[in-house]
Amino acid sequence: MLLTMNLGNSSLACGVFDGDTLVARVRLVSSVDRSADEYEALLGSVLGSKGVRPAELHGAAVASVVPDLNEVIGAAVEQLLGVPPFMISPAVNTGLSFNTDNPMELGNDLLANAAAAVELYKTGCIVVDFGTALSFTVVDSARCVRGVAIAPGLRGAAHSLVSDTAQLPHVELQPPPRAIGTNTIHAIQSGIVYGYAGMVEAMIKRMQRELSERAKVIVTGGMSPRIVDEIGGVDERAPDLALHGVRLIAERNF
């Protein structure tokens, strides 16, 4: 079995694959303050809670957008499994080509999303990822990454709003009863949830116009369940897309 990891600024998503089947998934809070020993202990514990023993894992692959944690996570995995993890990057065999100014700038999580989307759905895709940031990754049916758009994430937008205004409270990010809010909480929820839904729809329409083919719209990311029902034009929901991408890229290189 293969351990796959998507290391982001807020969380560390892990998936265990038996062949192409995802048999276990766990999520940890990512922190640069944890040591390799702490990550090793946490990973061993949470994987054990899913019935997965380190001895059953033949290797690991990581897509990281937190360079400061790469060495720590690498050491933790090597201590746990006895082998270092394979690190995903645009420099390895991804099965993709790039129509961008500098392919090395592409985030490794977005790289994994693109590799998984075009392989699993066999067509051009726009991947909308609701993570710490909101990202749009466009890959065409010829497996060429055409480009990316990035905006502040839902949680970051909400935090910025309330931290910069003395009288606005922190609220749970969920759709309010109506767009016209009649109290402060619903007003903030409307502005962020419905406002972001409208932005995503507008971005999808613009990107579709710029492509020479109809792209499938895939939504993923930890924050996506809070908003995806409010977005028109979504074709697929794929919460584990990046983990599948890490697996697929790793398989090309092992």
| Structural domains of the chain ordered from first start | 2-87 (3.30.420.40), 97-245 (3.30.420.40)
Alpha-carbon distance of 188 to 62, in angstroms, equals: 36
**Does the pLDDT of residue 215 top 70, yes or no?**
yes
Find out whether 47 and 37 touch, Cβ atoms under 8 Å: no
- Mean pLDDT for 216-232 is 95
Cα–Cα separations (whole angstroms), residue 177 to 181, 186, 227: 8, 8, 13
Tell me the per-residue pLDDT of 84-121, one tens digit each, with 9 for 90 and over: 999 999 999 999 999 999 999 999 999 999 999 999 99
Phi, psi of 11 (to 5 degrees): -145, 160
Instruction: Count each helix (H run) and each strand (E run) in the chain, helices first.
Output: 7, 11
- Mean pLDDT for 141-155 is 96
- Mean pLDDT for 23-32 is 93
**Does the pLDDT of residue 254 top 90, yes or no?**
no
Return the H-helix or E-strand segment holding 160: helix 154-163
* pTM (predicted TM-score): 0.93
Active site residue 109: yes
Instruction: Give me the catalytic one of 109, 129, 140, 240.
Output: 109
